[in-house]
Structure 1
Amino acid sequence: MLKPALFAGWQKLSTRIVGLLLSFLAIALTVIGSTLLLSWQLEGSAAAINVAGSLRMDSYRLALLTTQMDAPAGRQAVSEQLGRMERTLDLLRRGDPQRPLFLPPTAAIRTVFAEVQQQWRLELSSQVRNALAAGGLDPADKSMVQQRTERFVEHVDLLVQRIERDSENRTFWLRASQLLLLALALLGTISIIYLLFDMIVAPVTRLQGGIERMRERDFSVRLPVDSNDEFGALAHGFNQMADKLQDSYSNLERRVQLKTAELEHQNRELALLYDSASFLQQTQSAEAMCKGFLQRISDYFSADGGSVRILDPNRGNLHMLVHQGISEELVESERCLKVGDCLCGEAVVSKLAVIHDLRRKDDRHTLKCHREGFATISIFHIFAQRQYLGFFNLHFRTPTVFSAAQTALLETLGQLLGTAIENLRLQGRDRELAVSEERNLVAQGLHDSIAQGLNFLNLQVQMLEQSLQRQRLDEVESIVPALRAGVEESYQDVRELLHNFRTRLQEGNLVSSLETVVDKFQRQSGIAVDFEADSDGAPFPREHQLQLLFIVQEALSNVRKHAAATQVWLRLKDEQDFTLSIRDNGHGFDPAALASLGEAHVGLNIMRERAQRIDAQLHLTSAPGAGTEVLLRLPRAQRRAA
């Protein structure tokens, strides 16, 4: 396992380049090191030649000085010369790496140097030292010293010759090393250029050529994969890319057609969703809504028939609301299904979309849908906020299969239809609640005006009947004007109630509607009204504006009935907070006395209920002889814009 891993690592381009450069570097360092070593050795040998050559001069000087040992100065000079030559020989023996100075490490040179040392120590040096000890030399000894000096110099000459011959050899190898270094430099440069061209330049050139051909839309180009390095992987990737591009361009037209068909299909789905959502938002009856919905999905899916059924959760019945493409006989027989009956009723239990292939049903001959000629029946459910409302069918005379996307689309359409049906129901409940609340206010208004007036007339009629029984004509004459006044008052109350009930917002805004109410009040009552309005805030919803209009009408009606006022001030300030003030200069009343009436004062309670409907605050301020002010305030946190 180790060898393949190493081989795979060596196949990498970076590893090969680094290995090649390190190899050349190692060879170059070896040659340079050997050259430096040879230079260092030659320098040491040259210094050794100089030192060894000085021994010859020192030997002749020593021989000359031995002839002068009769005098003390001569003996001193001989002694110093001996020491100098001893030090020179010791230097040659030990060498000096710092100079550098050393004898070449060859056996021949070492042998000759040993003979020089031996001749010096046993012959020349010992004889001179003996002469120093004896105080001088006789003529025979001088001749002996002269002979030994000659032999010593001959050995030194031989040593110098051996060192020079060794230096010549090392000089030869030094020059050979330098020539080798030069050859390696030339060979290495040529080799590196060739290898880099083979490993980098040639693959890059092939890759560039392939890219150029591909740029010209020649997708048949392929690069040779002749290595396992990075360029080999790059060439392999280029070939794969060329394969995919060639396949893509060859199949581009087909893919464009497929994508275009897919986009057209999605656009048709979006158009169906948008058209259905827009249609279901229109104000219409449930039958018209379901009929239009069924028509749209039937046209989209080319269905031969269909129906929409609504669930009655109390009785467990499924009522057919609308239908198309099915016979009247089938409609009459299945106008009302029970949950769990037939295929459609069974689907209600699971509340899952079901597509039935009637050809595969064992009991298909007993199914009315199959006798009608339908081959496929689909059932999709109608939901609104997880509340089950019913389902709709699509009938097909040819076998039909729905994809997952089509099933999801039909389920989404079922939710849209369910939301629209639930909105219709909520709107009906809102209208019913609004009518109920308005009837309550009408009843309170009738009780506050007509009922009290009729009660007064009933009492007067009873008093009239008693007076007639007692033949008290004077009492009858006093009762009849009161009856006439009561009838007139009741008539005016009825007219005012009818006027209030028929009040509608005019086209425009709240201020223009209030101006109309104020003008009519001034004409009917003769009471002057000073009306000022500053309306810069966001418009109210129409139902809120109508409640505000009713509150103003009720307040003006109370002024006409009870205040005996000659002037009314109406102020409207609509900015971020809304305030409405109705103030008169009538005789006023005691608020404590009014509070003791409780719910008996229906008019004030009606105004308060209308104010609560729009989350407003109603305050009543009055005092005997100081008039009355009705103040309505709606903070910006509670107001809603239209």
Structure 2
Amino acid sequence: MNSYRLSALLGRLETGDELGLVRNAATQQIGRIDGTLALLRQGDPQRPLFLPPNTKIRNSFSTITRHWQDGLRPMSRAILAQEVADPDAIRTFQKEADQFVAQVNTLVKLIEQDSELRTFWLRGSQLALLGLALVTTISIIFLLFSLIIEPVTRLYEGMSRMREAQFEVRLDVDSDDEFGQLAQGFNQMGDRLQDLYGNLEALVKVKTQALEEQNRELALLYDCSAFLQRPQPAEELCEGFLHRISEYFKADGGSVRIIDAQRGNVHMLVHHGVSDELVESEHCLKVGDCLCGEAVEKRIAVVHDMRRIDQAHEKQCYREGFVTVSVFHIFAHGQHVGFFNLHFRQPKVFNPHEKELLETLGQQLGIAIENMRLATREREMAISEERNLVAQGLHDSIAQGLNFLNLQVQMLEQSLKQGEIGDVAEIVPQLRAGVQESYEDVRELLHNFRSKLAEGSLTGSLETTIDKFRRQTGIEVDLISDGEGAPFPREQQLQLLFIVQEALSNVRKHAMATKVEIGLQDHQDFSLSIHDNGRGFDAATLSAKSEEHVGIHIMRERAARIGAELDVRSSVGLGTTVQLTLARAQRRAA
């Protein structure tokens, strides 16, 4: 088509019509033919467009290219270069163009033949692949049926028969693959089920006995744990413990002994089922004496068969008819507290599980005894600390007042001896004022020591204390409360209340104030402030004499007991502020 179009354009040059436009169109047509040949030679991957890799096609394309490059193209360029077209040259070009078109037609036929051949082979390959797919599918179905479906079917049939209690059914194991292993496992399961079914009654009986034994052990552990958690004296604690384990193990006698590590003695605390003679002879043993003393040194559980011990007739427990004597230790947090004995008149053998149970019970008893001791020490410490605070309160208030009265009495005695009646008249009012102040201090201390909290209410107790302070002194007091944090335990609440009482007492005695503001901020952090508008004092003097100052030392000790920080700020003429801060890390849950 491009060749014929070029021939038509060159033919129009003979007429002489619009020569410029015809020449431009012919030139563009030559470029299109060049571009088409170049595109066929290089190929276009995007379309895609390539010449088939065939020798005839390549040779035909090369002939066409040479014919164009060496023949038609130079002839067309020469005709276009002439000012007046030569008709003979144009007719020669047209003849050559006809031959060129014939060559192109031959190339196209070769390409079509090649495409037909490739299409034939492609369809043949598709048919072959389709046939192969059908054969493969049929083969896979056959293999699946023979390798999977059939074994699964046999296994399902075997399970169905097994479900109907036909425990004698077995599967043939004809392979070593997964289905063979599954069949083998099925046969083993059948053997096991057949064996279990045959011995089911005996197994149920054994399991029932084991469960009953475990339930008895759990009941003993629970009963002992609940009993040992009760607050009670050591004798009642050990007596109840010994009664429970003796009843559980059916012991004919027993005892609980406590170790005195400082003196190296072992004291019998409680006992039952043994004679008074045995109790008298063994109520206090040295570590290392007799069988029990030896067990203390080794710190291991020991079960003695008295029939196999040399010179057993010398032992009092053997003479009383006890055949088996066991020793199990009492530990608390790694500390050896003591041990307990179980005596049997018939031979008794403890299995490992029973020994482990008795050792666990011994640890529970040891922890209970240690907790009782710690509680006793804590009460002693609390009493000691409170006595110390009482002594400090007496020293800081009444003792100083009595010391002042003593000095005044000495001065009164001296004035009476010298007959100075005027001095006596001055001293007597001071004595009366000192006695009255000491009386008020005693009443205030008694009130503070008897102070109690309303149930779970620090604010209510503070309001009660403030109302009494207003009635006694006539001083205006404002309570500003902000926030509702987590409740304090009663110990911390009491210490906070005592600190407020002590601060108000100092205001009454020394501040000469007309108004007091108490601020309470109770969020995650707790803050308590007592501020008065009194005369104040020099803070440097307070720091130098803090140990002697009335009430300050007591307040600091009470704050330290609950983990709080106490700060006292004051200036002469500007009043005093007592600030207590309790961080969230130091707050304890109620």
| Corresponding residue number in structure 2 for 1:303 | 251
2:210 — aligned with what? 262
Structure 2 CA distance, aligned partners of 1:318 and 1:500?
46
Distance 1:236 1:594 in 2: 94
- Residue of structure 2 aligned with 1:395, choices 343, 360, 363: 343
Q: Does 1:242 align with 2:193?
A: no
User: For residue 272 of structure 1, what is the aligned residue in structure 2?
Assistant: 220
The residue type paired with residue 189 of structure 2 is: M
Note if contact 2:546-2:552 (Cα within 8 Å) is conserved in structure 1.
Answer: no
Moved more, 265-274 or 600-609: 265-274
Describe the SS at the equivalent of 2:554: helix
CA change 1:232–1:615 in 2 (3 A) is closer
Q: Give the SS at the match of 1:598.
A: coil
Residues in 2 aligned to 1:443 and 1:345: alpha-carbon distance in whole angstroms? 47
Q: CA deviation at 1:505?
A: 2.3
Q: SS state of the match for residue 394, structure 1? A: strand
For residues 103-124 of structure 1, the C-alpha deviation after alignment (integer angstroms, 9 at most, x for no partner) is xxxxxxxxxxxxxxxxxxxxxx
- Does residue 544 in structure 1 map to residue 492 in structure 2? yes
Evaluate the alpha carbon distance shift between residue 523 and residue 196 of structure 1 in structure 2; reply closer, same or farther with a 3 A threshold.
Answer: closer
Q: Residue in 2 aligned with 1:121? A: none
Residues 462 and 202 from structure 1, CA distance in 2 versus in 1: closer, same or farther, beyond 3 angstroms? closer
Could you say what secondary structure the match of 1:348 adopts? helix
Q: Secondary structure at the match of 1:401?
A: coil
1:196 Cα deviation after fit: 12
CA offsets, 1:325-384, max 9 Å, x none? 222221122111110111111100000001111122222211111122212111110111
Q: Secondary structure at the match of 1:455?
A: helix
Q: Distance in 2 between matches of 1:292 and 1:370?
A: 26
Give, in whole Å, the separation in 2 of the partners of 1:555 and 1:365.
Answer: 75
Q: Structure 2 counterpart of 1:297, which letter?
A: I
CA RMSD of aligned residues (A): 2.5
Distance 1:260 1:535, change over 3 A: farther
C-alpha separation between the residues in 2 aligned to 1:201 and 1:537? 71
Pair 1:478 & 2:426 matched:
yes
Amino acid at match of 2:346: T
How big is the shift at 1:407?
Answer: 0.5
Is 1:329 aligned to 2:267, yes or no? no
User: Who is 2:482 aligned against?
Assistant: 534
CA 1:589–1:220 in structure 2 vs 1: closer, same or farther (change >3 Å)? same
Taking the aligned partners of 2:388 and 2:175, their CA distance within structure 1 comes to: 94
Quote the Cα distance in structure 2 between the aligned partners of 1:196 and 1:601: 101
What is the correspondence of 1:425-444 to structure 2 with a 5 Å cutoff?
425-444=373-392
Q: What SS class does the counterpart of residue 538 from structure 1 fall into?
A: coil
CA contact (8 A) 1:307 1:321 kept: yes
Alignment coverage as a number of residue pairs: 449
Select the residue among 505, 515, 518 that pairs with 1:557: 505
Q: Confirm whether residue 417 of structure 1 aligns to residue 365 of structure 2.
A: yes
Query: Partners of 1:497 and 1:207 in 2: how far apart?
Result: 92
| Alpha-carbon distance in structure 2 between the residues aligned to 1:615 and 1:481 | 44
Structure-2 change in CA distance of 1:237 and 1:434 (3 Å):
closer
Q: Which residue does 1:578 correspond to in 2? A: 526
User: Is contact 1:564–1:587 with CA below 8 Å preserved after alignment?
Assistant: yes
- 1:512 equivalent among 460, 471, 489: 460
Query: Aligned pair in 2 of structure 1 residues 197, 428: CA closer, same or farther (>3 Å)?
Result: closer
Name structure 1 gaps, 5 residues minimum: 1-188
- Structure 2 match to 1:405: 353
Q: Any conservation in 1 of the 2:456–2:490 contact (CA below 8 Å)?
A: no
* Alpha carbons 1:444, 1:602 under 8 Å: kept: no
Aligned to 2:301: 353
Of structures 1 and 2, the one scoring higher in RCO (CA 8 A, sep 6+) is 1
* SS across alignment from 1:219: coil
In structure 2, stretches of 5+ residues that fail to align are: 1-137
Match of 1:615 in 2: 563
| TM-aligned CA deviation for residue 254 of structure 1 | 2.2
Task: For 2:480, give the aligned amino acid.
Answer: E
Residues 205, 282 of structure 1: CA spacing in aligned structure 2 closer, same or farther, 3 A cutoff?
Answer: closer
- 1:589–1:624: 8 Å Cα contact kept in structure 2? yes
Match in the other structure for 1:487: 435
Partners of 1:632 and 1:224 in 2: CA distance: 87
Counterpart-to-counterpart distance in 2, 1:602 and 1:433: 24
Structure showing greater radius of gyration is 1
| TM-score computed with the length of structure 2 as normaliser | 0.72
Shift, 1:408, TM fit: 0.6
* Structure 1 residues 204 and 599: alpha-carbon distance in aligned structure 2, compared to 1, 3 A threshold: closer
Deviation at 1:544, TM superposition (A): 1.1
| Amino acid aligned to 1:294 | L
